[in-house]
Structure 1
């Protein structure tokens, strides 16, 4: 591929050379240059396309595309410094007759369009770690800000957790507001993340399903910031600790590990480079929780065994029930509500059951487990106890007939 940016080099040497005095540019010349740049932009795009579909080795194509990318970045930065294009409002401040500065702006727009073209169609060869030209970043700022605002509005309507939105908003905004040394890699990440997030929020789903997809997307796109890792970790912890038994807690924690393990992660895609992926960080955290969980369980078993040896008479004095813990708790609650037994309060009833009863699944029934089951009995438990009571009535009827 022959060198394609001769016209750009000529424009710089003639109009934007810092060593020479700035030339005058008439309106007619400005209009002509505007047309020339439009034609040149289209010609260069076609040259890039021919290069990509040539028989050259991939490494040669990659090297040439990246050389053009770097050259366009240098030209863009040079023109921005000469024209003074440091903010998005700059164009509005220009005087109508300042055709040289206006020429600089359309020149920058032309280069920005070519860089966007390379980014979009030649991602395979694009150097993502190159620093973004100031003008290119300014053009992207509006797009990102508008998209972030749209996502915030959609998320609010779908009732996504505000604390999660606050984390995302903070990190994306920090990038948008700090263009210095920003790389294309981070810009591409933010664009992709916002597009994917908007798609999810636009779907006709809500509640738990939406929240699950939202978090799965954070893992897939590897939004690997500590605050997100911490947020998901706290949610998992609250979920599994809400279960009343060790077995239920352990099973739920293992289920979370399975779900995260099965989550896909976009290859070579991450918000923070050189930091562990969100998926691997969460798996490591769950593994530590499981290890601690099992160690704690083992200590509890050893303590219980020692306690049983020293308090064997007390343990043997408990009444064994074939009912489940939830059935036993609800039956005792009914007895208390009917004033058949009259504990001082519900807490005293819970302590009484824990101290005096055991079941096949739990020799020592935990107070926490009983409290949950007494205050919030499940419909299946109520139905089971109703069947037990009907059986008792039938037995009473048989005893009555014998007399």
Structure 2
């Protein structure tokens, strides 16, 4: 399949070099013809691409086709960006200014078409290709306007100002004066995160509520930079050390562990796709902190609030599922014959003796039985998410 925008690139953009542009004027007829040619070519090529998307059955060829046309569009936009940048340093005459205006309108339309492909056909769009300098400059202006109130609010209301600097560091590097090579994936990620941060500050939270809401936002969007992990782990350690006893410290750490584990990250979202998620980094670190604190409590012969009580010589299994979720899982195992025992009372009695939850050291058999027969929709939804994560884990084993 051919490169649909190659004609536009050669016949129109190729003739509009920076040197020749500033060495001549353009008649009204030339401007009209240029604008007409651009619109006709763009309309024709967009229609051709849409046709291939909906009727081409060979997916490998379609991916190659979209990627090739995407690269050509980026080259056209970069050429126009160079022309716009040069014009900003010189004084174009009236005809040149009119042509620049037409070129800018065309650039917006080309970028909008790329946006259409990225938003409506994400499975075909190559997000790992470098974006155009035109899009990077537009995004830099958008980020600056969107994040100015975010930076001001977080700096005023967060007790740890270092967090603000770490979060906004990628945006500070993203300036029109220093255009770098950014992939569409990185720009798309920064755009989504900036919108979520803007929505967060509109809630007017303060203190501990703001700190936790910000953590949830960053975990959900998987802002998995090393600096953010280090900043948050130090912040959690500092807050933990404010508690006087080991028992209180362990209680706080378990609360943070529960908060982090309960967050479900957005699918296919990551600042750095090649690194472990922020959630996984914090979960592993907190698990090590829990082990350390429990060891300290044992050495001081102080019974831990999280140490299971031995039952018949066996320590209870500790689950972060609620009693209702545990009952739902038990129901699934019973109904699908994963558990062979037919006597439900015996199974419930065994589970109640063997398992404990975050909120219940000793699970009531009656409570477990009631939840078994009355599974709520909200409980089903949480268990479904758990099962999906388990399936995702198996897919990657």
TM-score by length of 1: 0.64
Give, in angstroms, the shift of residue 30 of structure 1: 1.2
> Equivalents in 2 of 1:209, 1:17: separation in Å?
54
Change (3 A) 1:9 1:150: farther
Matching residue of 1:181: 181
Greater mean deviation of Cα atoms: 282-291 or 2-11: 2-11
Matching residue of 2:354: none
Matching residue of 2:74: 73
In the alignment, structure 1 residue 97 sits paired with structure 2 residue 95: yes
Matching residue of 1:383: none
Aligned-CA RMSD value: 3.3
Matching residue of 1:321: none
Matching residue of 2:119: 120
> Equivalents in 2 of 1:108, 1:93: separation in Å?
21
> Is the Cα–Cα contact under 8 Å of residues 144 and 176 in structure 1 kept in the other structure?
no
In the alignment, structure 1 residue 262 sits paired with structure 2 residue 262: yes
Matching residue of 2:236: 236
> Is the Cα–Cα contact under 8 Å of residues 140 and 174 in structure 2 kept in the other structure?
no
The residue correspondences of 1:205-220 to structure 2 (distance < 5 A) are: 205-220=205-220
> Equivalents in 2 of 1:7, 1:241: separation in Å?
64
Larger radius of gyration: 1
Three-state SS of the structure 1 residue aligned to 2:12 is: helix
Change (3 A) 1:12 1:41: closer
> Is the Cα–Cα contact under 8 Å of residues 224 and 275 in structure 1 kept in the other structure?
yes
Matching residue of 2:141: 142
In the alignment, structure 1 residue 276 sits paired with structure 2 residue 270: no
Gaps of 5+ in 1: 303-403
Cα distance per residue 1:236-272 (max 9 Å; x no partner):
2233323333223223212222221222122332223
> Is the Cα–Cα contact under 8 Å of residues 219 and 278 in structure 2 kept in the other structure?
yes
> Equivalents in 2 of 1:103, 1:204: separation in Å?
43
Matching residue of 2:252: 252
> Equivalents in 1 of 2:22, 2:89: separation in Å?
22
> Equivalents in 2 of 1:21, 1:201: separation in Å?
47
Three-state SS of the structure 2 residue aligned to 1:130 is: coil
> Equivalents in 2 of 1:56, 1:23: separation in Å?
48
Three-state SS of the structure 2 residue aligned to 1:53 is: helix
Give, in angstroms, the shift of residue 188 of structure 1: 0.8
Change (3 A) 1:122 1:94: farther
> Equivalents in 2 of 1:17, 1:234: separation in Å?
52
> Equivalents in 1 of 2:149, 2:29: separation in Å?
42
Matching residue of 1:297: 297
Change (3 A) 1:109 1:234: same
Give, in angstroms, the shift of residue 17 of structure 1: 9.6
Greater mean deviation of Cα atoms: 100-109 or 292-301: 100-109
> Equivalents in 1 of 2:137, 2:290: separation in Å?
48
Give, in angstroms, the shift of residue 167 of structure 1: 2.2
Give, in angstroms, the shift of residue 3 of structure 1: 4.7
User: How many pairs does the alignment contain?
Assistant: 299
> Equivalents in 2 of 1:33, 1:41: separation in Å?
12
> Equivalents in 1 of 2:242, 2:153: separation in Å?
30
Change (3 A) 1:160 1:220: farther
Change (3 A) 1:15 1:249: closer
> Equivalents in 1 of 2:149, 2:50: separation in Å?
34
> Is the Cα–Cα contact under 8 Å of residues 12 and 38 in structure 2 kept in the other structure?
no
Three-state SS of the structure 1 residue aligned to 2:174 is: helix
Change (3 A) 1:25 1:189: same
Gaps of 5+ in 2: 303-397
> Equivalents in 2 of 1:173, 1:21: separation in Å?
34
Which consecutive segments of 4 or more residues in structure 1 shift more than 6 A?
Answer: 17-23
Change (3 A) 1:218 1:24: same
Give, in angstroms, the shift of residue 154 of structure 1: 4.8
> Equivalents in 1 of 2:284, 2:152: separation in Å?
34
> Is the Cα–Cα contact under 8 Å of residues 86 and 135 in structure 1 kept in the other structure?
no
Change (3 A) 1:248 1:48: same
The residue correspondences of 1:3-402 to structure 2 (distance < 5 A) are: 3-5=3-5, 6-16=7-17, 25-54=26-55, 56-81=57-82, 83=83, 85-86=84-85, 90=88, 93-98=91-96, 104-155=103-154, 162-176=161-175, 178-203=178-203, 205-301=205-301
TM-score by length of 2: 0.65
> Equivalents in 2 of 1:53, 1:236: separation in Å?
51
